[in-house]
Amino acid sequence: MTQREHAVSFTGAVKTYGEVRAVDGIDLEIARGETVALLGRNGAGKSTTISLLLGLNVPDEGSVELFAAAPERAVRAGRVGAMLQEARAVPRVTVRELVTFVASRYPAPMPVARALELAGIAELAGRRVDRLSGGQTQRVRFAVALAGDPSLLVLDEPTAALDVEARHAFWDSMRGYADRGHTVLFSTHYLEEADAHADRIVVVDRGRIVADGTGEELRRAAGGNLVSVDLAGHDADGLALLPGVRSVEVRGQRARLRTDDSDATVIALAALGAIRGLEVAPASLDDAFLALTSSHRAPDRTPDIPSDAPSGETPREAETV
């Protein structure tokens, strides 16, 4: 074992379900001690990636290693704690009994009281696990993931059912854990969470990594600024051809232009006489995400976008990332 050994290493990993390439050639290395967010819309391949990482699924092509060995080996050695997305049938035991049982399966677990406290469920210790609310159950699952004091913590949408307060408490615990040198990989739909709590954001779309960097790097990669103007009767045709413009989105009478050179774009708009209600703003992280993922394109560019989205997928709105 070397100092430079990665916690997680995907090499050309592919996992198909019939026609669907759920994971479509992922190369990813996560260093020890890193906190990485896996960000993507519904069906992007986050959970499948996590299942490969945990050895619950085997890649059809390529390979996955944890701590330079097969995932099963790291899992069996108690180096990995996981919180999966799908709900499992929970046994009729108390929270404390469940966490104690899980902890006992690990070579060097943390004290059960500590796991309960970190997950914010100390007061639920004597309650039956099959009689808890959705958010409480989720916190129990977090305690279960922590119980073994694993080197690598893998959390699939850990905050999905949590209320605002529980969410804050969860992130405090997670960061405390990460700050002690542990490696954390969590998936989320929420850009703010990824930006606020991860060292690095890996954006997954249709089974592929489409971006990998800090929030700031993603913003930059997705194109600098947004220029919006009232169309005021003007045609939106041709806006996409203005200097600097990468994409155009028209909503009602307003056009939003993503541009790499807002000065040049504004000057060109002025030359067209189309600068009513002008606004220039830096692209937000949400804008970056939408620019990076393939389902969201400017209307005037749709004809050349292949319609290869798996059928049955609903189109996504900006608000539902």
Ligand X SMILES: Nc1ncnc2c1ncn2[C@@H]1O[C@H](COP(=O)(O)OP(=O)(O)OP(=O)(O)O)[C@@H](O)[C@H]1O
Binding interface with ligand X (CB under 6 A)? 17, 20, 22, 40, 42-48, 85, 310
Extract the tokens encoding 259: 């541009």
Query: Which CB atom, from 6 or from 189, has the smaller least distance to Mg ion?
Result: 189
Q: Are 246 and 291 in contact (CB under 8 A)?
A: yes
- For the sheet containing 254-259, what is the strand order? 245-251, 254-259, 225-230, 276-282
Cβ atoms within 10 Å, residue 42: 11
Q: In angstroms, rounded to a whole number, what is the distance separating the alpha carbons of residues 266 and 137?
A: 52
The one-letter amino acid code at 282 reads: P
Query: Which CB atom, from 17 or from 163, has the smaller least distance to ligand X?
Result: 17
Q: How would DSSP label each residue in 197-214?
A: H-SEEEEEETTEEEEEE-
Phi/psi of residue 20, each to 5°? -85, 125
Q: Are 192 and 285 in contact (CB under 8 A)?
A: yes
Residue 69's beta-bridge partner residues?
A: 66
Report the residue from 9, 35, 47, 151 that binds Mg ion according to the rule CB under 5 A: 47
Q: Minimum distance between the CB of residue 48 and ligand X, rounded to whole angstroms?
A: 3
Q: Minimum distance between the CB of residue 41 and ligand X, rounded to whole angstroms?
A: 7
Q: Minimum distance between the CB of residue 22 and ligand X, rounded to whole angstroms?
A: 3
Partner in contact with 94, chosen from Mg ion, ligand X, none, beta carbon below 5 to 8 Å by kind: none
Among 15, 11, 34, 33, CA closest to 24:
15
Partner in contact with 45, chosen from Mg ion, ligand X, none, beta carbon below 5 to 8 Å by kind: ligand X
Which of these ranges, 69-77, 85-93, 116-124, 221-229, lies near Mg ion under the rule CB under 5 A?
85-93
Q: Are 153 and 182 in contact (CB under 8 A)?
A: yes
Which of these ranges, 58-66, 81-89, 136-144, 229-237, lies near Mg ion under the rule CB under 5 A?
81-89
Q: Minimum distance between the CB of residue 285 and ligand X, rounded to whole angstroms?
A: 18
| Radius of gyration in angstroms for the set of CA atoms belonging to the chain, rounded to a whole number | 23
Q: In angstroms, rounded to a whole number, what is the distance separating the alpha carbons of residues 95 and 125?
A: 5
Query: Which CB atom, from 173 or from 188, has the smaller least distance to ligand X?
Result: 188
Does 100 help bind Mg ion (rule: CB under 5 A)? no
Query: Which CB atom, from 63 or from 85, has the smaller least distance to ligand X?
Result: 85
Partner in contact with 21, chosen from Mg ion, ligand X, none, beta carbon below 5 to 8 Å by kind: none
Extract the tokens encoding 178: 């990460």
Query: Which CB atom, from 17 or from 232, has the smaller least distance to ligand X?
Result: 17
Q: Mask: binding to Mg ion, 244-283, rule CB under 5 A, as x and -?
A: ----------------------------------------
Q: In angstroms, rounded to a whole number, what is the distance separating the alpha carbons of residues 126 and 207?
A: 41
Select the residue whose beta carbon is closest to Mg ion and give its number.
47
Does 56 help bind Mg ion (rule: CB under 5 A)? no
Query: Which CB atom, from 197 or from 206, has the smaller least distance to ligand X?
Result: 206
Query: Which CB atom, from 49 or from 183, has the smaller least distance to ligand X?
Result: 49
Does 85 help bind Mg ion (rule: CB under 5 A)? yes
Helix (H) or strand (E) holding 141: helix 134-146
The residues binding Mg ion (CB under 5 A) are: 46-47, 85
